Amino acid sequence: MQAEQLRLAGTEQNIAIARSSLYPSLSFSAGLGSNYYKTSGFPADAFGKQLKNNFSQYLGVNLSVPIFNRFSVRNNIRSAKIDRENQQLALDNTKKQLYKEIQTAYYNTVTAQQKLKSSEEARRNSETAFRLTKAKYEVGKATSTEFNEARNNYLRSESDLTQARYEYLYQTALIQFYRGKSLHL
């Protein structure tokens, strides 16, 4: 979000830069120079003397007043404004995407909470069933297959409960992150 907002602020600067071409510009220049030449067949001064005698310097001032530039400045300003509108749309799109992600995280948290509650209930029920089957098995009223099945159901419900706990912790941490709070693991 911050990156998109900074890009939008940058497009405002681009509009200002495009508008600056409407104003006159003043520039200064300065320079130093010298040269050496030799014409064949004619005597020439020594190299050092020619550099000294041909030494030149200049100062320049240039004022440029834009009168008509074939609408290029107008088109550049319009293009910069279109870029700003495109960036505003990108920012709005990013906001909507973030809202969608937060909404999805919220619903996932609610679902994880419900799954945790149902997993706790399933574990309690499978534990009760396992204890009853174990008691039946010990007195010879249940087969080893029934005992193993009850034990496997109990272990599966324990595993599902552990998984539901961690899923709920993850989803609540994600919600806290979206709220701007730091994560503590």
> Would you state the pLDDT for residue 43?
79
- In whole angstroms, how far apart are CA 73 and each of 64, 67, 70? 15, 11, 8
Predicted pLDDT at 185 = 61
Q: Provide the residue type at 159 as one letter.
A: S
**What confidence score (pLDDT) does residue 127 get?**
96
Give the pLDDT confidence score for residue 106 in this predicted structure.
96
Q: Which pLDDT does position 39 carry in this prediction?
A: 78
Q: Enter the tokens of residue 84.
A: 């700003």
pTM value surpassing 0.85: no
pLDDT in tens, 7-54: 999 999 999 999 999 999 999 999 998 887 777 777 788 878 888 888
Identify the bridge partners of residue 29 per DSSP, sorted by sequence position: 60
Low-confidence ranges of the chain (pLDDT < 50): none
Look at residue 183 in the predicted model and tell me its pLDDT: 75
